[in-house]
Amino acid sequence: MLKRKRIDEATSHPPTCATLPEFLTNLVSEKLRGHRPCALRGKTRLHKSMITARTKLRSSYDDSIQQLSSMGPTELESIHLAELHHAAVTFALALTNPLHAHFDIDRLADKVKTTRVQDSRPDDAAIGQLSKFFTPTALGVVEMPSTVVDQHGRIILWHLPDIIAPHRVVSFNHSVKELRTPLLASMHSSASAKSGHSTWRFSNYRPPVGGGIFGAGTMNLSPGWFQQGHERLIDDLHISQDMHKPGVNSFLAQNRVLTTLVNTILSIMNPSQYSSGLEAIQDIQSRPNPAPLWDSVWSGMAIIVNRETPYHKDRGGCLSMYDLLFSAGTHQECYIDVAELGAEFHYLPGTIVGLSGKGLTHGVRSWAGGERICLAHFMKDSVHNRLGQPRPPWPLLDDYL
């Protein structure tokens, strides 16, 4: 059964703390205390003490990236302490680099319901209506670790470039290669089934000539979700069809350590969402016919390969649930756009972005220099509702500082 990972099960040098989430939480606090000249709570991004902390953390962040780049495939079997220290520095740097949105995320979401912003509409058309009610936010290009907070200090986005070590990205890429055949089949079957429709979720694939290393397509993996249109009390949860495709069990097995690391990263982003997700999956896995290799606290994962993604929202979660997007592949240039923020976040392999997928319109319109993979993690509000899990509260920036 899925449980909170003990440190001695997952690291090469066991610390004293009982679980990875607790250990990483303590590490983040330690990094903040060790790099700040004074207490940072209530300080603005441009306050002298915040700038000092950010400058020191940036130096430590650059040093830890260099250390991770020297790690090789022999260190894949467990999470190394260096990876946890790097994750902690990345989080601490993001927390001392808060970017501010000029809106209340709840009220913005309420207004979107009435203005009917639609998937795939151009940003000027989709956001133009909202600018009548909210001061436009224009963050521009963002390349270093950062958080985005709304008017009340709620963290609505985490941008964590290079938080996953290069050797793990290479290993993940290798596991996706084994899914090339079912991925290509998903692209062709989707095109055939949806030939009369223009929905972007079944198009916009851009594989290299000859199919490239990874092919192209989308696979949706879940140990228990509702079939489309069947969310009544009498309807049961089902393992997704793609879980039965060839190569999926191998993919899950090869990425068990990475999955543990991603779970732990969520525990910092939103501890309440992590706990709800863990309890929901434990419930699902205790039922008949569980998915034996499912170690994730997420309701599901979408493996998206070589696809442009127009502006959209992910409507299956609740507003305060993050979607977690892990960027992989071989591409050398890419940005993920977030329309309401007027922002382009650097989105190279090894980057994790956590954002309110239901509240923020986001997309990836192009990339260059290789092939692109996204492993999108999501939680289904309807599944959590069935399993009696509460919606998580928003994390507040000051709670970390």
Read off the CATH number of the domain in which 357 is found: 3.60.130
Task: Identify whether 310 is part of a domain.
Answer: yes
In this prediction, residue 227 has a pLDDT band, given cuts at 50, 70 and 90, of: low
Q: Do 130 and 115 meet the contact criterion of CB atoms below 8 Å apart?
A: yes
- pLDDT for 230 beyond 80: no
Using the CB atoms, write b or e for 150-180: b if 16+ within 10 Å.
beebbbbbbbbbbbbbbbbbebbbebbebbb
User: CA separation (Å) from 42 to 25, 49, 101, 132, 395?
Assistant: 20, 11, 16, 30, 15
Mean pLDDT confidence for 127-140: 80
75, 130, 138, 312 from 127: Cα distances, Å:
46, 5, 12, 12
pLDDT band at 126 (very low <50, low <70, confident <90, very high): low
Strand ranges for 66-125 from DSSP E: 98-100
pLDDT of residue 316: 85
Same domain, yes or no: 293 and 178: yes
Q: What span, in angstroms and rounded, lies between the C-alpha atoms of 99 and 92?
A: 14
Is the pLDDT at 95 greater than 90? The verdict is yes
Which residue carries 């260096």 as its tokens? 82
Q: Of the candidates 71, 99, 127, which is a domain's last residue?
A: 99
Query: How far apart, in whole angstroms, are the C-alpha atoms of residue 97 and residue 157?
Result: 12
The answer to whether 359 and 157 have CB atoms below 8 angstroms apart is no
Q: Which residue has the higher pLDDT, 14 or 363?
A: 363
Query: What pLDDT was estimated at residue 5?
Result: 58
Looking at the fold, whether 181 and 65 belong to one and the same domain comes out as no
- Collapsing DSSP states into helix, strand and coil, what is residue 354? strand
101, 151 in Cβ contact below 8 A? yes
Print the domain residue range for 19.
Answer: 7-99
Residues 272 and 238: their CA atoms lie apart, in Å, by 25
Question: Which of 189-198, 276-285, 308-317, 352-361 is predicted least confidently?
Answer: 189-198
- Residue at which a domain ends, from 99, 125, 147: 99
Sheet with 352-356: list strands edge to edge: 98-100, 146-149, 155-160, 352-356, 322-329, 372-378, 300-305, 217-221
Residue 297, in any domain of the structure: yes
Report the candidate in 203, 206, 204 with the shortest Cα–Cα distance to residue 192.
203
Q: What is the pLDDT of residues 292-303, one digit of tens each?
A: 899 999 999 999
Do 311 and 188 fall within a single domain? yes
Task: pLDDT band for 117, please (50, 70, 90 cuts).
Answer: very low
Condensed to tens digits (0 to 9), the pLDDT of residues 44-92 reads 999 999 999 999 999 999 999 999 999 987 778 889 999 999 999 999 9
Q: Do 62 and 177 sit in the same domain of this protein? A: no
Q: Are residues 91 and 197 in the same domain?
A: no
Render pLDDT for 231-247 as a digit per residue (tens, 0 to 9): 666 668 889 999 999 99
pTM of the predicted model, to two decimals? 0.91
Domain contains 136: no
% of the chain beyond a pLDDT of 90: 70
Residue with tokens 């696979």: 219
What distances in angstroms separate CA 229 from CA 25, 126, 302, one per listed residue? Answer: 39, 27, 19
pLDDT tens per residue, range 144-182:
999 999 999 999 999 999 999 999 999 999 999 999 999
What is the distance between the alpha carbons of residues 101 and 104, in angstroms, rounded to a whole number? 8
How many angstroms separate the CA atoms of 323 and 335, rounded?
17
Q: The tokens of 45 are what?
A: 């991004």
pLDDT for the residue 112: 73
Asked if 84 and 174 sit in the same domain, the reply is: no
**CA gap 345, 144 in Å, rounded:** 9
d(CA 380, CA 372): 25
Proportion of the chain above pLDDT 70, given as a percent: 86
174 with 71, same domain: the answer is no
Summarize pLDDT for 352-365 with one digit per residue, the tens.
999 999 999 999 99
- pLDDT band with cut points at 50, 70 and 90 for residue 130: confident
Mean pLDDT of all residues in 281-296: 91
Query: What total number of domains does the chain contain?
Result: 2
For residue 193, is pLDDT > 80?
A: no
Q: Which of 45, 152, 141 is nearest to 341 (CA)?
A: 141
pLDDT of res. 6 = 53
pLDDT of residue 45: 94
Query: Rounded to an integer, what distance in angstroms lies between the CA atom of residue 239 and that of residue 247?
Result: 16
The predicted-structure confidence for 330-388, as pLDDT tens digits, reads as follows 999 999 999 999 999 999 999 999 999 999 999 999 999 999 999 999 999 988 989 89
> Do 74 and 171 fall within a single domain?
no
- The C-alpha atoms of residue 283 and residue 285 are separated, in whole angstroms, by 6
Mean pLDDT score across all residues of the chain? 88
Are residue 172 and residue 54 in the same domain, yes or no? no
The set of residues, in sequence order, having a beta carbon less than 8 Å from that of 33 and lying 6+ positions away, is none
Confidence label for 186 from pLDDT (cuts 50, 70 and 90):
confident
Q: Is residue 105 part of a domain?
A: no
**Does pLDDT of 397 surpass 70?**
yes
Beta bridge partners, 326, equal 352, 375
Are residues 250 and 333 both part of a single domain?
A: yes
| Confidence grade of residue 16 (pLDDT, cut at 50, 70, 90) | very low
Q: What is the pLDDT of residue 18?
A: 57
What DSSP string describes 319-347? TTPEEEEEEEES-SEEEEEEGGGTEEEE-
Domain identity same for 240 and 351 = yes
In a domain, 33, yes or no: yes
Residue 393 belongs to a domain:
yes
Last residue of a domain, one of 46, 69, 99: 99
Residue 118's CB is within 10 A of a number of other CB atoms, namely 12
Q: Is residue 236 part of a domain?
A: yes
In a domain, 143, yes or no: no
